[in-house]
Amino acid sequence: MTRRALIAGNWKMNMLRAEGEALAAALASGLKPGMAADLLVCPPATLLAPVSAVLAGSAVALGAQDCHMRDSGAHTGDIAAVMLKDLGAAYVIVGHSERRADHGEDDATVKAKAGAALAAGLTPIICVGETEAQRDSGEAEKIVGGQILGSVPDGASQSGIVIAYEPVWAIGTGRTPTVDDIAAMHAHMRHVAGRMLDGAGALRLLYGGSVKPGNAAEILALEDVDGALVGGASLKAEDFLAIAAAVA
């Protein structure tokens, strides 16, 4: 089954307004017609509105980095999925390893957030991944499979969600698993997700973890890799567009 690639940029906690607007403008103008991938940027919450305005009418989609599980209420500092939708977002990242580690988010929390995203009309990008210790102990597939089973909301469809595999030990370190390791994990993820979704042939699986122009083509050519969740390289328009251009 043909799945259109998605190249998503996670800007994390970087850039002020002028920088974000300039990067968004560079991406919108640099996107070549006929590219084989969809482009998505996920700026910090403070930049969602100005970046949305810059990207209006372009082929670059807007996403957020997190959402709350409720639509409203006494949740100081949080942002509801419906609010993100109202700002023009189409996607939201949930369960990133930095949220799981820094904010203590477990699978149940991620599942609730993904469900809220779906209810608001957003596509959740559900992040999973093992630590270095878990990989070294031979538990990587067990951990990642368990995160998928615990984080994908009930009633989700293959086309309604995206799952991103980010080995925790590779994020921002410059290290990546071997292509054989990436291929094996993505095949495992599709198998596990298929048990929940009545098949997973249409499900988009992304790889994240030190993706850059130099390794993108090899990773994106793998059968079960349908795109990338890019961190540091998404902060430079030239690098981000080069990764997108690496999709065959």
Strands 162-165 and 204-208: parallel
What is the b/e burial string over 69-92, where b = at least 16 CB atoms within 10 angstroms of the residue's CB?
Answer: beeeeeeeeebbbbbbbeeebebb
Whether residue 93 contacts residue 59, with contact meaning beta carbons closer than 8 Å, is answered with: no
The position carrying tokens 């607007």 is 21
| Catalytic-role residue among 96, 105, 186, 188 | 96
The question of whether 75 is a catalytic residue gets the answer no
User: What is the distance between the alpha carbons of residues 15 and 225, in angstroms, rounded to a whole number?
Assistant: 29
| Catalytic-role residue among 21, 130, 166, 188 | 166
Longest dimension (CA), the chain: 48
The question of whether 218 is a catalytic residue gets the answer no
User: What is the distance between the alpha carbons of residues 180 and 190, in angstroms, rounded to a whole number?
Assistant: 15
> Which residues participate in catalysis according to the annotation?
96, 166
